[in-house]
Amino acid sequence: MSLDFILYQNTLRAWLAALIVATAVYLGLAVAKRLLLRNLGLLAQRTRNSLDDSISEVVGHTRYFFMLLAALYAGSRILVLPNAAVGAIRVLAVVGLTVQAALWGNALIGAFVTRKMRRREADQESATTVGLIGFVMRLLLWSVLALLSLDNLGIDITALVAGLGIGGIAVALAVQNVLGDVLASLSIVLDRPFEAGDFIIVGDAMGTVERVGVKTTRVRALSGEQLVFSNADLLGSRIRNFKRMYERRVVFGIGVVYQTPRGQLEQIPNLIRDIIQAQDGTRFDRSHFKSYGAFSLDYETVYYVLDPDYNRHMDIQQAINLAIFEQFENQGIEFAYPTQTVVLEGVPARV
């Protein structure tokens, strides 16, 4: 049989060329997938970033049905086919590409959610929020791809998109406060200004974060009650996170009486410096004769505690205060306290 034999409006040569092209495309995609997975796996072992892991996850979700449809579409471009066959192949290609794109996007979202949940494995509430965010992202992804697929298939989606837009605006206006808190929750989860277990101060309220929910954040106050903050209001406030403190700056002052000799006044900063440097976990900054007070000569001292724990800070400050008291007592330096001298004139002396 000659290669010029006509079969369904195409020569055998054309059918053979279409078969070769389809086979080459399929094998090329399959080999490319295997090579990419192997190289990305080796790269992931040498690096600590999550980008290569995410790309590997996406490539791994490339399905063989998509490769087969891509090969079929490439081979069909060589042939002269009836309009019905061309339309059927186009529909299969669009649907296959849409499904494959959805699988790629779903894998990328899944990698993101898994990474965030792994970081918050002890924080169940944040993990729940991340899971909800992943669901919303998947819903949006599949909705957009479905609309694009319908549009590529020649279906007029203008009315559908307009209806969804109007409906979305109406829903957004009805639940704008809730949506604001949900978006604030997303910001907290992603940006992590605080997390469960952190001690924070918001305005005049302070306490330990217990739970970061979808709409509210729960904080346990020092006095025992639970404080409930709206996520949107919380992010609109200035938050002081003491859990993120690496060291604590401490400033304290003392005063001595005006009758203190000048030599002792000059030695007091050195004495305080030696006492602070003798404490473990501290870094001395400065100590100066600051000012003349109403009834005392005032000194100001600054040092750092290299530990954010408040109890540790108070233990060190107590040790410093006791050591200063002992040194002053040994050297005869008197602490000042509020006094007032009354001078009487014109009063006759008693006999």
Residue 287 has pLDDT above 90, yes or no: yes
Please state the rounded mean pLDDT for residues 312-339: 92
Sign of CA dihedral 171, 175, 177, 179: negative
Q: What is the pLDDT, as a whole number, of residue 319?
A: 96
Residue 246 has pLDDT above 80, yes or no: yes
What are the backbone angles phi and psi of residue 308, rounded to the nearest 5°? Answer: -75, -10
Higher pLDDT, 124 or 268: 268
Q: What is the pLDDT, as a whole number, of residue 140?
A: 77
**Residue listed under structure tokens 């002890």:** 122
Strand partners, 217: 212, 229
Stated pTM of the model: 0.51
Q: What is the pLDDT, as a whole number, of residue 307?
A: 87
Q: What is the pLDDT, as a whole number, of residue 122?
A: 47
Q: CA–CA separation, 28 vs 75, rounded Å?
A: 14
Residue 172 has pLDDT above 50, yes or no: yes
Residue 172's CB is within 10 A of a number of other CB atoms, namely 11
Q: What is the pLDDT, as a whole number, of residue 297?
A: 95
Task: Tell me how far the alpha carbon of residue 263 is from its chain's centroid.
Answer: 56
Q: Which of 38-42, 188-192, 288-292 has the highest mean pLDDT?
A: 288-292
Q: What is the pLDDT, as a whole number, of residue 346?
A: 65
Residue 19 has pLDDT above 90, yes or no: no
Higher pLDDT, 329 or 123: 329
How confident is the model over 251-272, as pLDDT tens digits? Answer: 999 999 999 999 999 999 999 9
Could you tell me what percent of the chain has a pLDDT over 90? 23
User: The tokens of 209 are what?
Assistant: 């974060």
Q: Are 187 and 227 in contact (CB under 8 A)?
A: no
Please state the rounded mean pLDDT for residues 345-349: 64
How confident is the model over 29-76, as pLDDT tens digits? Answer: 888 888 888 887 777 667 666 666 677 777 777 888 888 888 888 888
Please state the rounded mean pLDDT for residues 270-283: 94
Q: Could you tell me the pLDDT band of residue 350, with boundaries at 50, 70 and 90?
A: low
Higher pLDDT, 350 or 146: 146
Q: Which of 137-141, 241-245, 290-294 has the highest mean pLDDT?
A: 290-294
3-state SS class at 347: coil
Q: What is the pLDDT, as a whole number, of residue 270?
A: 94
Q: CA–CA separation, 61 vs 2, rounded Å?
A: 43
Q: Are 324 and 310 in contact (CB under 8 A)?
A: no
Q: What is the pLDDT, as a whole number, of residue 161?
A: 63
How much is the mean pLDDT over the chain? 80
How confident is the model over 125-161, as pLDDT tens digits? Answer: 556 666 667 777 777 777 777 777 777 666 666 766 6
Between the CA of residue 218 and those of 131, 199, 203, 319, 341, what are the distances in Å?
A: 19, 12, 15, 37, 55
Q: Are 204 and 233 in contact (CB under 8 A)?
A: no
What interhelical angle do 12-46 and 64-76 show, nearest 10?
Answer: 140
Higher pLDDT, 80 or 257: 257
For residue 54, which of 97, 127, 113, 99 has the smallest C-alpha distance?
A: 113
Q: What is the pLDDT, as a whole number, of residue 252?
A: 95
> Which residues touch 269 (CB under 8 Å, ≥6 apart)?
287, 288, 289, 299, 301
Q: Could you tell me the pLDDT band of residue 331, with boundaries at 50, 70 and 90?
A: very high
Q: CA–CA separation, 249 vs 304, rounded Å?
A: 5
